[in-house]
Amino acid sequence: WFHMTVSPMYPPPAATSSDEEDDSDSSTKPIRSEKKKNPVSLFQTGGDPPKEKKTKKKAPPKAAESEEETPETPQKNSNKKGKGKKSKKTKEERPPSPVIEVDNLEEFVLRPAPQGVTIKCRVTRDKKGMDRGLYPTYYLHLDNDKKVFLLAGRKRKKSKTSNYLISIDPTDLSRGGENFIGKLRSNLMGTKFTVFDNGANPDRANADWSNVRQELSAVVYETNVLGFKGPRKMTVIIPGMNADNERVPIRPRNDNDGLLMRWQNKNMDNVIELHNKAPVWNDETQSYVLNFHGRVTHASVKNFQIVHGSDPDYIVMQFGRVADDAFTMDYNYPLCAVQAFAIALSSFDGKLACE
């Protein structure tokens, strides 16, 4: 029953990833999702199984399902998506985003999203000013009434590879300032990225390595059979979570011990591999489509959803264009704001992997 009639094999080369807002739904879907195990267990790596005191993610959707007003219209689009997951998104879709308390900004942006809550954000790109065309500043705000500022990011000039500084102060994007919270660094090709927190370079480690920077994420872009014209393929590598649902610290002592090398060497202890959800070719619109449930309104090759291979209905993160220089970015457990924002920044980078 899942996109049986769709043939994404031979698209015209000009097609780009677009978004699909078919909100048709089926009353049988929640039942299926409830059989799924708690998504939290997908991200558990070290230690004991997850503690059951945490709320189960998939329980509420049944009631939320009725809020979808759209009647079932099978002829509208044969490749329905978003099974099960739909109900979860719907829950927060109609009312405004749940109240997110950002008491301590530095702590908040590094803390994993609470289980069962989608943190909805907006990324704006500022190209104004002398060299902003080449080096825009990106701002991340909560997408709610208060539009709370979370992070700013900007590509460093004079850097051999793409290097973005991430700050908790929209006016201070300096490496030395105390507002520096993390950075995103690419390889020379611009196809692989690593996200660090604000710890020290291993060269400046103290005796017990406790001050050394953590790697929060890595992103790998690969081309597909259409070269760079069709949908991109992204692999996202993140540290796993321990039994207390906290991120396992990954503090590489050198470049051979980082997330990218562990992933390449298939050494996946305490490491989780995620992928972007493959868009589906739609003959009607002659484009690739993904269902963003109304959170994305403009077609763009930059639109993506990140999922775990074992549960493609649980969207770990989604990102997409809503205006020329505005994008929505939503993330769920186990990601934190710095991880999600840095993954989004990697998709703006102008090298071949990303256009």
Report in angstroms the alpha-carbon separations of 52 from 12, 40, 265, 321, 334: 49, 10, 33, 37, 16
d(CA 330, CA 140): 11
Task: Enter the tokens of residue 248.
Answer: 């396992």
pLDDT tens-place string over residues 111-122 = 999 999 999 999
Q: What integer pLDDT is reported at residue 96 of this predicted model?
A: 53
Tally of CA atoms within 13 A in the half-sphere of 116 that contains its CB: 9
The topology under which CATH files domain 105-348 is Tubby Protein; Chain A (3.20.90)
Q: Are 82 and 311 in contact (CB under 8 A)?
A: no
Q: What integer pLDDT is reported at residue 216 of this predicted model?
A: 97
Task: Enter the tokens of residue 31.
Answer: 């039942």
Residue written as tokens 């704001």?
337
pLDDT tens-place string over residues 18-36 = 444 333 333 333 334 344 5
Q: What integer pLDDT is reported at residue 117 of this predicted model?
A: 93
Q: What integer pLDDT is reported at residue 166 of this predicted model?
A: 95
| Collapsed DSSP state (helix, strand, coil) of residue 269 | coil
d(CA 68, CA 208): 54
| Collapsed DSSP state (helix, strand, coil) of residue 92 | helix
Q: Which residue ranges in the chain fall short of pLDDT 70?
A: 1-37, 47-98, 129-133, 223-231, 350-355
CA angle 140, 144, 145 (to 5 degrees): 120
